Amino acid sequence: MKNLVLTIGASIIIIAGIFLFASQNNASQNKNENDTINPTSVPVGSPQANILNNQPDSSTQKMPFPILTKEEIAGKKIKISTNKGEIVIELLADAPIASSNLLYLVNKHFYDGLTFHRVIKGFMIQGGDPTGTGNGGPGYQFQDELDAASASYQKGYVRGTLAMANAGPNTNGSQFFIMHQDYKLPHNYTIFGSLISGMETVDSIANSQVDENDKPNQPVVMNKVTIE
């Protein structure tokens, strides 16, 4: 299977497309300011799940999870208990689809036992793939939430930000990433949470020894993910 890589040159952002997970071209753990690795979810070219949306007049399949109101999401927190420590994230109400999806999957115990399969120190840690390869998901996809006027969008990809990984527009599923450091990513990834405790755990995960594909040599396991 393939992953999606985004390589940023000195002055031009080049979307490199899907890369072979075993590729070593951009797998170095030490990324400089001009090398951006694209957090990736379901690869283009694989059997695609239905792209879903929440438009009431849409003819597409309904989402398997209810879209909560902003009031229902406000203040909701997720705790990720890993073998390296705990991470607590507060969800953002201005990204109700992504937040509702995460709450739905957590209630289903979807993430329990999954790993952070991709770790790039100074950039981000990525997890939520049931296959552990970067190519898996929950069996459905949903649309982006990239409103430039929203607080989450304007926040940007700063240290401790939670965002959806994707393989292109409207291909969100179960994979997410947490920013290890501030990074100038293009606004292509729905931001839907912010870390409120456990940054030392993120640091510990980011310091993991990884192979040429940015996969930790020792698995970083989400033992349990719960709603606080």
Number of folded domains in the chain?
A: 1
Which phi-psi region, left, alpha or beta, contains residue 32 (left: φ > 0; alpha: ψ -120 to 50)?
Answer: beta
- Determine, yes or no, domain membership for 26: no
Q: Which pLDDT score is estimated for 62?
A: 76
71: containing domain: 65-227
Alpha helices in the chain (DSSP H): 70-73, 96-107, 151-155, 199-206
| Side-chain-side CA neighbours of residue 7 (13 Å) | 10
19 lies in a domain? no
Q: Is residue 5 part of a domain?
A: no
Q: Residue 40: its pLDDT value, please?
A: 61
Residues of the chain with pLDDT under 50: 1-36, 42-60
Q: What is the pLDDT of residues 122-139, one digit of tens each?
A: 999 999 999 999 999 999
Domain contains 53: no
Query: Phi, psi at residue 222, to the nearest 5°?
Result: -85, 95
The pLDDT of residue 181 is 97
Q: What is the CATH number of the domain that holds 197?
A: 2.40.100.10
In a domain, 93, yes or no: yes
User: Considering the entire predicted model, what is its pTM?
Assistant: 0.78
* Cα–Cα distance measured from residue 111 to residue 93, given in angstroms and rounded to the nearest whole number: 21
Is position 23 within any domain?
A: no
- Is residue 106 assigned to a domain? yes
pLDDT confidence of residue 63? 84
Q: H or E element: which one contains 52? A: strand 51-52
Residue 42 lies in a domain: no
